[in-house]
Chains A and B, each alone.
Chain A
Amino acid sequence: MLNMKLKLNNKLFDEDVEQSPTRNGYGEGLVIAGEKDPNVVVLCADLTESTRSNFFKEKFPGRFVEMGVAEQGMATVAAGMANYGKIPFISSYAAFSPGRNWEQIRTTIALNDVPVKIAGAHAGLTVGPDGATHQMLEDIALMRAMPNMIVIYPADSIEAKKATIAAATNGKPTYIRLAREKTPIVTIEATPFKIGKAEVFWTSKDPQVAIIASGPLLYEALLAAKELTGSHPVIVLNCHTIKPIDEQTIIHAAKICGAVVTVEEHQIMGGLGGAVAELLSKNIPTPQEFIGMPDCFGESGQPDELLEKYHMKAKDIMEAVKKAIVRKNS
């Protein structure tokens, strides 16, 4: 059942559950972060409205910097600003930032250890009709491998807002992964959020599998958990911070369940699944099933059609749970 100690959205399973894209939360979070600290500045590479950076631009025009279509320039200019003492958020699509400007982020932000916040919007398969060029599915791997970098993948727009506000004060290079499509609101304002802390969103008595999800597919994981009630009890972790990963919570979940399923809209290689596998194989080797892209590019299509085709829906998660149980018991 939903862990209501965390004060989650109790209308989550309604037909007409409220929906909003995580990028909206980013835009709202920028405004709040900007109100709290005059050093917060926002840079954008010609995608102001679609990254929702326009919310900040309208409120603080003097602290908004339009870079033009220049993601490498944006990352390096932001590095200079952060070196000076500003807290720059750089907004673009994940395919281009960190996709195109990875080395600039590595050298001038991560190695320099300056607090630039990289917002990668339109990440994942659900950018849909734009096709494979824009469906960034490798960004978590790119950013996770980089020393000093914090990686956050919010599950809904409220969490994205909290992540944005928290990133403004963590003093570290930080990547925030965002999506274009509207997705169900899972949390409420009062739900706890702390960078680096995974939370158990779904609990069961004697759980057989721990589903560990990042991003909006958390909702599919919760749908699966609900369907599995009675037959295959599971717990569901919201692992919004992929780096640093919440070792204690995940190891504990693996210990009590004995099997895990990871869920993400990202390549299986190098993403959340990889992070969990690295952690568990060292501490408590555990059978694991992976929901994610199987080492291939996406294609044009409607978001839901694509999630269906690449097996990222609740029914696919349920299948993965059953497989994990079989492996655990064999």
Chain B
Amino acid sequence: MQKFSVHELEEKANIIREDIIKMLVEAGSGHSAGPLGMADVFAALYFHILNHDSHNPAWEERDRLMLSNGHICPVRYAAMAEAGYFPVSELLTLRKLGSRLQGHPERLKLPGVETTSGPLGSGLAQAAGYAYAAKMDGRKFRVYCVTSDGEHQEGNHWEAVMFAAKYNLSNLTAIVDRNNIQIDGYTEDIMPLEPMVEKYKAYNWSVIEIDGHNMQEIIDATGKAKAIFENPTVIIAHTIPGKGVDFMEGDYKWHGNPPGTNIPGEPSKDEQAKIALRELRTLGGKIRSEHQ
């Protein structure tokens, strides 16, 4: 797999964002904020970080990417399509009868999806079990697991955190989408998660905090995680939910709604997709860290 440059990755992320908007509009349901917020991470994963082959999804030596918060699957589907797993046109079948692109991803429906997910808190444990088995057999590939911040409210997740630390699963890298929102509101109002860094450290994980929209930081963090042999690593990626679409950014109301939803105070539902796509195109792949 050819490794894209930072600039190319930023352009790819923006194409993925446009795909996400188009898919969600066509589907008429689904989640907007999470997928848009994770477009940079997924572009980096599929076009730089992961060792994979889109024409051979079952390649034995591939890195495994488990998506724990299955509801952000539009971003994974879009990244996979752009990477050549299936035609981009198939993205428009999302959530429709007979589609391989289920509303929440299913391993048996779409090659390359790795596991079935949606119910929260179970992905890290599956990734950890996978990493454990691979380590038993001395396999070299890495296991990545993308999780949401909200699912850190699930006990199952912390069972996996303990398990991975106990068995020093250094072949496992978790990436937390720290976007601060969940369906009912802001995470710190619903059930506070902070201090996340200290929590993971207390559970004997290595912790790296990054700006989840800064390609270089995303790449550097996963590279650093590969060099840590003592324990598993969690990358806490601070992201802006809805990133790239001004009226969605940072607003929890866009967690579980597609463009085209009547939400008081937002653009009219017929205009939303148009505005979103215009903004994304105007940015022209120049989405950069807010801190730069």
> Which residues of chain A have a CB within 8 Å of any CB of chain B?
41, 62-63, 65, 67-68, 70, 72-73, 76-86, 88, 103-104, 107-108, 111-113
**Residues from chain B with Cβ under 8 Å of A77 in the complex:** 125-126, 128-129, 132, 160, 163
A-B contact count (CB 8 A): 95
Chain B nearest CB: distance from A43 CB in Å? 9
With most chain A CB atoms within 10 A of its CB, the pick from B115, B126, B155 is: B126
Q: Is the CB of A83 within 8 A of B163?
A: no
Q: Which of the four size classes fits the interface of chain B?
A: 20 to 34
Q: Is the CB of A76 within 8 A of B116?
A: no
Closest A residue to B121 by beta carbon equals A72
Closest A residue to B108 by beta carbon equals A113
**Residues from chain A with Cβ under 8 Å of B115 in the complex:** 79-80, 83, 108, 112
Closest A residue to B160 by beta carbon equals A73
Is B106 on the interface with A (CB-CB < 8 A)? yes
Closest A residue to B60 by beta carbon equals A85
Q: Is the CB of A67 within 8 A of B163?
A: yes
Option from B106, B117, B162 in Cβ contact (under 8 Å) with A70: B162
Bound CA–CA A88/B108 (angstroms): 20
Closest A residue to B139 by beta carbon equals A84
Listed by A's residue number, 19 A-B pairs whose Cβ atoms lie within 8 Å are A70-B159, A72-B122, A76-B122, A76-B160, A77-B128, A77-B129, A80-B126, A81-B130, A81-B133, A82-B129, A83-B114, A86-B136, A104-B122, A107-B118, A107-B119, A107-B122, A108-B115, A108-B122, A112-B108
Bound CA–CA A77/B121 (angstroms): 12
**Residues from chain A with Cβ under 8 Å of B128 in the complex:** 77, 80
Q: Is the CB of A84 within 8 A of B155?
A: no
Is B96 on the interface with A (CB-CB < 8 A)? no
Q: Is the CB of B129 within 8 A of A79?
A: yes
Bound CA–CA A72/B127 (angstroms): 14
**Residues from chain B with Cβ under 8 Å of A72 in the complex:** 121-122, 125, 155-156, 159
Bound CA–CA A112/B116 (angstroms): 6
Provide the main secondary structure of the chain B interface.
helix
Option from B122, B125, B129, B156 in Cβ contact (under 8 Å) with A84: B129
Chain A nearest CB: distance from B131 CB in Å? 8
Nearest 10 A-B pairs (CB), nearest first? A80-B129, A73-B159, A76-B125, A77-B129, A80-B126, A80-B130, A70-B159, A84-B133, A72-B156, A81-B129
Q: Which of B109-149 contact A (CB under 8 A)?
A: 114-119, 121-122, 125-134, 136
Closest B residue to A66 by beta carbon equals B166
Bound CA–CA A67/B156 (angstroms): 12
Bound CA–CA A41/B119 (angstroms): 26
Is B55 on the interface with A (CB-CB < 8 A)? no
Chain B nearest CB: distance from A163 CB in Å? 24
Q: Is the CB of B127 within 8 A of A80?
A: yes
**Residues from chain B with Cβ under 8 Å of A107 in the complex:** 116-119, 122
**Residues from chain B with Cβ under 8 Å of A84 in the complex:** 129-130, 133-134
